[in-house]
Amino acid sequence: MTNRTDAIISGLAALLVLFTAMLDPRVSVGLAVVFLLGVAVYKFTRKGGA
């Protein structure tokens, strides 16, 4: 993933987490953890395969 793509995905995830925090903080925490794990798994699988 390039730096630009990484920044875009991180920014969109941050905005989604911020907006869901207004609705329910528990959902916001869950989404944040899911996004972090998803990006970590994606980066590790792409790094190992390349």
- How confident is the model at residue 48, as a pLDDT? 62
Instruction: Work out the burial of residue 39: count CB atoms within 10 Å of its CB; fewer than 13 is exposed, 13-18 middle, 19 or more buried.
Output: middle
Domain limits, the chain: 3-49
pLDDT in tens, 7-32: 888 888 888 888 888 888 888 888 88
Could you please report the per-residue DSSP string of 1-50? Answer: --HHHHHHHHHHHHHHHHHHHHH-HHHHHHHHHHHHHHHHHHHHHHHHH-
Neighbours of 32 (CB within 10 A): 17
Is the per-residue pLDDT at 35 higher than 60?
A: yes
